[in-house]
Structure 1
């Protein structure tokens, strides 16, 4: 199926391009343009002036940051880190442990080592290690030994919070 013919075509007449309306056969009529742009009402003009003045004004000084209402363990690197444990990896869980500054260093190092081992296992050992780790974790004796070791390590990190 062919496309319908277009309404307009462009031809050259006397070294000028002219748009011809195919329906009338005459040159296309120009759209009537307003001789002067429409005027804004006074309310809109003042709004625009206020907006442009606020862009030129210097920004307000920053407000001081207060720590009111922020509890302990509010963020990493703060004075207290609080770790919430669960019963699937902690024999005494669920519990909350306030991690001492020495424990924070241990936890940070352990996290870095865990990430490095995970990257090594995924990229270099591939899919061979994943099924072996899965089957090892299915053994109840392995899970019980891991959970008890993690519980002892978590207890040594800090003190329990009520």
Structure 2
């Protein structure tokens, strides 16, 4: 049998740059823990009556920073003076290449999403080809056709990454 200590009566949280002590049993907020005198912020309801935090499902749907991390890995994390990622394009996928595009934060997320989607499609195609499935060959041939004929489409999409 495992014994655990009961939860503490008091809880300390940070709010607006101040440490605040909350009495869990009374549901009331105590004085802020700061050296400067300040008024009470407000009375907190007991923990059991507070609204629930965001669901883990919403965190999975949009993991913080994942898409921007993928974009940073693709660009080699090269940044300009303003801190924007710099994407160097190549002639095999950009009809306006060679050029360097400074990505906006939204452009970083878009680039990361497309890279992840293309990587997933490539892995699925490889797995299907290895298992002898015809659909894998269709995906692979479609991918090659897109790369060889999709340069104008890719160029216009890349133009939007700087302004997104």
- In the superposition, the TM-score normalised over structure 2's length comes to 0.41
Higher relative contact order (CA 8 A, sep 6+): 1
The higher radius of gyration belongs to 1
- In the superposition, the TM-score normalised over structure 1's length comes to 0.41
